[in-house]
Amino acid sequence: MQSKGSSSMVSSMVFRTRISSLLISMFATFASFYVAGRLWQDAENRVYLIKELDRITGLGQSAISVDDTLKIIACREQHKKLSALEMDLAAARQEGFTSKPSLDTDGAVSRRRPLVVIGVLTRFGRKNNRDAIRKAWMGSGATLKKLENEKGIVSRFVIGRSANRGDSLDRSIDNENRQTNDFIILDQVEAPGELPKKAEMFFALAADRWDAEFYAKVNDDVYVNIDALGATLTSHMDKPRVYIGCMKSGEVFSEPSHKWYEPDWWKFGDKKSYFRHASGEMYVISGALAKFISINRSLLRNYAHDDVSAGSWFLGLEVKYVDEGKFCCSSWSTGAICSGV
């Protein structure tokens, strides 16, 4: 049996234990509020600092992750490689995409690519001229195909469309082409004043369609010696950029009433003389120059005459000019390549 003093001592110890627990609980509660408050304040501070950083830098977005940073770096590297490739492509275009002629095992030039593509520029109402050319040197049907396969010489008549699309003029050319299959029909109006543009479009289209060594422009009143042409062009295959023809430099006429009036006469100086260029009856350019025309067709300047226009396209290029008397079609001589008829 416990005494009264022992009971009082036990009660006092229990009381003090409860007070201690209460104080510890209150301290823990206050500590939790304090820590939570600091964490909340820190979070608000971080949000505030990020917004201020975005505002100052103008990014408008929060910091990116490490993975995103690596992706950006990889994109920049790819962009550098792309820029380098674009520079290489530009350099290749300036070189004219030149290619060396391929040789057979016996050393002869391979006919896997045409030697020359000849564009005979013709007009409406000139069927008699075209028929005469087919009989004289161009051939038709199997003969035309044999010339392509055996000698690598591709010949086509070049003509535009009538101003009234689909009229009798267009239909007559379409009917003739269905019989002969020897036309290049351009998507432009056939008109005397459009001859420079017509020559430009022929070279561009022919370069896109045939990968030939050379490309020739011929009028539809010119006879061509195919064998002499082939032999002459073969001798110039070592030149990557060559311009062959009967070179001349004629007078620039400023009178509008003159037959050969040049609207841009003032560009040629006080002496009014054209720069050196090949006569328009017939001239030849290498494949590299034809590809140059194809690539830059939208930038090339045309003058009143197609031969002057062609000469102007090559003035600023590293081109070998060949003044070949055999291309002077106004007079026929032994070994001549062309002759006016």
Confidence band of 139 (pLDDT split at 50, 70, 90): very high
The H-or-E segment that residue 308 falls in is helix 306-313
pTM equals 0.64
Asked whether the predicted pLDDT for residue 246 surpasses 60, the reply is yes
Tokens encoding 283: 């001239």
Give Rg (Cα) of the chain: 42
Tokens encoding 97: 């995409």
Confidence band of 106 (pLDDT split at 50, 70, 90): very low
Rounded Cα gap, residues 291 and 271, in angstroms: 33
Asked whether the predicted pLDDT for residue 220 surpasses 50, the reply is yes
Average pLDDT, the chain: 79
Confidence band of 51 (pLDDT split at 50, 70, 90): low
Handedness of CA 179, 183, 184, 187 (dihedral sign): negative
Q: What is the pLDDT of residue 32?
A: 60
Could you give the percent of the chain with pLDDT greater than 90? 44
Asked whether the predicted pLDDT for residue 237 surpasses 50, the reply is yes
One DSSP character per residue, 48-81 reads HHHHHHHHHHT--SPPPPHHHHHHHHHHHHHHHH
Asked whether the predicted pLDDT for residue 21 surpasses 90, the reply is no
DSSP single-letter state for residue 138 = I
Q: What is the pLDDT of residue 69?
A: 57
Query: Residue 12, CB half-sphere, CA atoms under 13 Å: how many?
Result: 6
Residue-range domain boundaries for the chain = 116-245+279-340
Q: What is the pLDDT of residue 248?
A: 80
Domain 116-245+279-340: which CATH number of 3.40.50, 3.90.550, 3.30.1950, 1.10.3470:
3.90.550
How do strand 320-323 and strand 222-224 relate by DSSP bridges?
unpaired
Asked whether the predicted pLDDT for residue 230 surpasses 70, the reply is yes
- Between 149-153, 225-229, 329-333, the lowest mean confidence (pLDDT) is in 329-333
Crossing angle of helices 306-313 and 195-209, in 10° steps, is 50
**CA–centroid distance for 71 within its chain:** 32
3-class DSSP state of 158:
strand
- Between 74-78, 220-224, 247-251, the lowest mean confidence (pLDDT) is in 74-78
DSSP single-letter state for residue 239 = -
Asked whether the predicted pLDDT for residue 105 surpasses 60, the reply is no
- Between 4-18, 127-141, 144-158, the lowest mean confidence (pLDDT) is in 4-18
Mean pLDDT of 184-189: 95
The partner residues of 282 in beta bridges, in order of sequence, read: 218
Q: What is the pLDDT of residue 192?
A: 83
Higher pLDDT, 103 or 24: 24
81-120 burial string, b = 16+ CB within 10 Å, else e? eeeeeeeeeeeeeeebeeeeeeeeeeeeeeeeebbbbbbb
pLDDT in tens, 289-303: 999 999 999 899 888
Asked whether the predicted pLDDT for residue 119 surpasses 70, the reply is yes
Asked whether the predicted pLDDT for residue 249 surpasses 80, the reply is no
DSSP single-letter state for residue 88 = H
Asked whether the predicted pLDDT for residue 59 surpasses 70, the reply is no
Rounded Cα gap, residues 307 and 324, in angstroms: 15
Q: What is the pLDDT of residue 39?
A: 54
Q: What is the pLDDT of residue 24?
A: 66
- Between 145-149, 223-227, 285-289, 330-334, the lowest mean confidence (pLDDT) is in 330-334
- CA-to-CA dists, residue 17 to 13, 23, 248, angstroms: 6, 10, 123
Q: Scan for tokens 């930038």, then name that residue.
A: 299
